[in-house]
Every structure is written in C-alpha cells, then in structure tokens.
Amino acid sequence: MRIFRRAADLTDHRLKLDNQGLSAGFVPTMGALHEGHISLVNAAKASSDFVIVSIFVNPTQFNNKEDLAKYPVTLEKDLIMLEAAGCDMVFVPSVEEIYPAGYQAPHYALGRLEQLLEGAYRPGHFQGVCQVVHRLLDITQPTHLYMGQKDLQQCMVIRRLLELTGIQTQLVILPTKREATGLAMSSRNMRLSEAERVHAQLLYQVLSDTLLQYKLGGDIDRLEADGAGRLQDAGFTVDYLKIADAETLEAPVAGHKAAVLVAAALGSVRLIDNVIEA
C-alpha cells in the first residue's frame, strides 16, 4: 500500500495506471475508520483494478469550529485497517495540498438540496463537501466513487456535483453498516459514553418503526412528531425526524420509495441516520 501526501505525486501515479487501462475505485473519508468505511473499500476492490482511499478532515465542510476541533484522528490505526483491507493507495493530504494558495472555491448550484434537512441545520456544509470532493476527484480521477447511504443527502449532493461538473466518474451508493444493536457505525460514535451508546440504539428503532407505520398508512405529521417525541423523552436533542421521498428528500410521493431521516444529538455528539423503503 502506497501512501501519498502530495496531490501531484498521486495524480502522476494514477495517470500511469490509467495509461495501462486500469480502473480506479475511490473512497473519500475523514479517517477514524470503522467497518462502514471498510465495506466501501471492499466494494471498490471487488469491481476496480485498484483502490484509492483519502483521509482528510475537510475544514470547509464544518460549520461548527468546535466540531472540527473534536473530530477524532486515528491515522496509525486507519492505515493498518486499510492495509489489511487490501487498499492500494492512501492519500493523506495537508489542507494546503487540497486548497493551495489562490484556490477559488466555486459556487455549486445545489438548489433545494442545500436548503432541506442537513442543509438547513449546517449552512455552507454541502458547498464544503462539494469543494473537497471536486478537488479529490480531480486529483484521483477515479472510474468509480464509493459513498455510504448513511449520508444520504450527501450522496444526492455528490450526484448533483457530477452532473454540474460533467465529471464521468460513476457514483456507487452502499448500504449503512450497523452495530449488532442497529446503531449506524460512525466516527462520531467514538465520542459517545458507554451509556450514550446504549441510548443511541433508539435512533434506528425509531427510524424503523416510523417507516413501518408510514407504510401501513399512518399520518406523516403525527408519525414525525411521535418519533421525535420518543427521542426527546430519551434525552436526545432532535434537529429533525422527517419522512421524505428517497430520491428528492422533498415530501413523500405515493408510488415512490420513501425514506425516514433523522439528525439528533446526545450531549455534544450529533448523529445522523436514515432508512429507505425496500
């Protein structure tokens, strides 16, 4: 496994492989890796000639500086996990490597996606996500890009980024890896206390119950209020619990797949999760 710190070195290497007709699967991450990330690496390995993973905590997507300062960093362990998973190239850039002097952030026309759900609670977040993914795609030039359904709205934003830029990379969205308790794996779970981790299981239970009740014809407003109420009673601060169209995240439409999405904090740890109709 080769580790690259400079963008130019990685691009040079990538172009050599491209000249040999080899495909590249790319998995962007912010590190503090867990089995969810590794499931993306495994999927990339299964369908690409080689796999590139980036580890970069992108400052421009954090609207809350405290959240950025507290983001877990476990580089040594991450590299061991990636080596064991058979990753070929790891990109660990500095902030200056991604945003060199003179970098001008484009504005990405994300439309409603930027106003709904996470967009409303994290102003500027999705512009930051687009900035970093756009830079990383330019540097790594992957055939396929692997992302997790755990961040459903982010997947939709990146699909839009690909449309807006005309970049030919294929987006592959993979299911959420969960603990045996149902808790979605997340780097942020490391910051939960043991007691909070037990409480956090309720997120998936509420999501699953809400989706089931919705499929049985329950009233949307009432289901959203009941689900949020259950979480609040258990000590969560709920930003939103929404039933939405799984493709657009707007109000659900009969005959389309629905999703239930949640963002809620336990103490200072904000968690997001979602489930989609089968």
* Complex with ligand AMP: residue 40 or 244, whichever CB lies closer: 40
The interface mask with ligand AMP, positions 96-115, x = CB under 6 A, is --------------------
* Complex with ligand AMP: residue 131 or 213, whichever CB lies closer: 131
Of 110-118, 144-152, 206-214, 220-228: span binding ligand AMP (CB under 6 A): 144-152
25-44 positions binding ligand AMP, by CB under 6 A: 29-30, 36-37, 39-40
Of 132-140, 182-190, 211-219, 263-271: span binding ligand AMP (CB under 6 A): 182-190
Q: Does the protein bind ligand AMP through residue 184 (CB under 6 A)?
A: yes
Q: Does the protein bind ligand AMP through residue 122 (CB under 6 A)?
A: no
Of 15-23, 45-53, 64-72, 177-185: span binding ligand AMP (CB under 6 A): 177-185
Three-state secondary structure along the chain? CEEECCHHHHHHHHHHHHHCCCCEEEEEECCCCCHHHHHHHHHHHHHCCEEEEEECCCHHHCCCHHHHHHCCCCHHHHHHHHHHHCCCEEECCCHHHHCCCCCCCCCCCCHHHHCCCHHHHCCCHHHHHHHHHHHHHHHHCCCEEEEEHHHHHHHHHHHHHHHHHCCCCEEEEECCCECCCCCECCHHHHHCCHHHHHHHHHHHHHHHHHHHHHHCCCCHHHHHHHHHHHHHHCCCEEEEEEEEECCCCCCCCCCCCEEEEEEEEECCEEEEEEEECC
Q: Does the protein bind ligand AMP through residue 177 (CB under 6 A)?
A: yes
Q: Does the protein bind ligand AMP through residue 140 (CB under 6 A)?
A: no
- Binding interface with ligand AMP (CB under 6 A): 29-30, 36-37, 39-40, 147-148, 150-151, 174, 176-177, 184-187
